[in-house]
Amino acid sequence: MRSTEALPALRAPGVPERAWVRDWRLAGQDLARCFKGWHVWALLGVSDIRLRYKRSRFGQFWITLSMAFFVAGIGAVYGGLFHQNIRDYIPYLAVNMTVWTFIQTSISESCQAFVEAAPYLRQEGLPKSTFILRVMMRNVMALGHNVVIVPLVFVLFGYAPNAAALLALPGLVLVLAGVFLASVSLALLCTRFRDMPQIVGNLLQLAFFVTPVMWHVEQLGPNAVYVDVLNPFAAFLRVVSEPLLGRVPAPGTYATVLVALGVLALVAWPCFARFRSRIVYWL
């Protein structure tokens, strides 16, 4: 089928366009066309969730039930293991696991974003970024199912959030931006090198244990600074979870997130502009 790739802009005769300028311009057009055609990746994401739970009695609510079982089981065990007050620990765990599951699953599934979209990419001239947002869309839907647990846990354990909870919304925007930028780089890398998804999966598993998802930063004592400053996963987690738990994130947490976003953008955008046109040949 005929590709719908945008045509090069008109230039004065005899003035060739530099390759890197063309790449950056086409990458910008790709992203603009993607957001203009938002209904495409939105429908693809919804379809992925529906197919995943097709013919299931509980359907998409298995997402919520799975998270609820995990929080209840791990909360009971680790609360006693860490000598934590269950009334405080389970709300902490519920919020952290909800946010962390979104970050981890989005990054992990982005590794196959272009590979699983091969039938579309080989036949249609759809924007490449459409398939990154497809992955994010289905994980945002899963996040919506999981977040239902948080107010239920708060009510069950008598935990009342305060006005700081409003900061969770801009924190979520920062998380979405970070996940998108990381997904762009990883989708390109994993399409070119098919061993990379296994490496990314192992690194995410390691990140889970060194990030304060199931334990408190204060338990590290003097070493807590390494988690606060040098672990970007912890910073992205805390800009959403801490407001929901009634605390305002420290300025250093926001600084770490902004620095991480800058680094991710400096890697993702040039890579996407340079290698976007090669994705089809790597499939």
For the segment 207-233, what is each residue's pLDDT rounded down to a tens digit?
A: 998 898 988 887 777 767 667 678 899
- Tell me, what's the pLDDT at 17? 60
In a domain, residue 94? The reply is: yes
- Report the percentage of the chain scoring pLDDT > 90: 45
In a domain, residue 260? The reply is: yes
What integer best gives the mean pLDDT of the chain? 86
Number of domain units in the chain: 1
Sorting pLDDT into bands at 50, 70 and 90, what band is 16?
A: low
In a domain, residue 17? The reply is: no
DSSP 121-137: HHH----THHHHHHHHH
- What mean pLDDT comes out for the span 75-104? 87
Position with higher pLDDT, 109 vs 84: 109
> Which burial class, exposed, middle or buried, applies to 282 when counting CB atoms under 10 A from its CB (0-12, 13-18, 19+)?
middle
Q: Report the C-alpha gap between 14 and 108 in whole angstroms.
A: 46
Q: How many CA atoms lie within 13 A of 150 on its CB side?
A: 20
In a domain, residue 47? The reply is: yes
Domain of residue 225, residue span: 35-282
Q: With a threshold of 0.75, does the pTM exceed it?
A: yes
In a domain, residue 28? The reply is: no
Contact between 248 and 242 (Cβ < 8 Å): yes
Q: Report the C-alpha gap between 18 and 72 in whole angstroms.
A: 58
Instruction: List the one residue out of 142, 135, 139 whose CA is nearest residue 67.
Output: 142
- What mean pLDDT comes out for the span 58-85? 79
For the segment 171-195, what is each residue's pLDDT rounded down to a tens digit? 999 999 999 999 999 999 999 998 9
Is the pLDDT assigned to residue 12 strictly greater than 60? no
User: Cβ–Cβ contacts within 10 Å for residue 212, how many?
Assistant: 22
CA distance to 14, 201, 266, per residue, from 18 (Å) = 12, 38, 20
- Tell me, what's the pLDDT at 107? 95
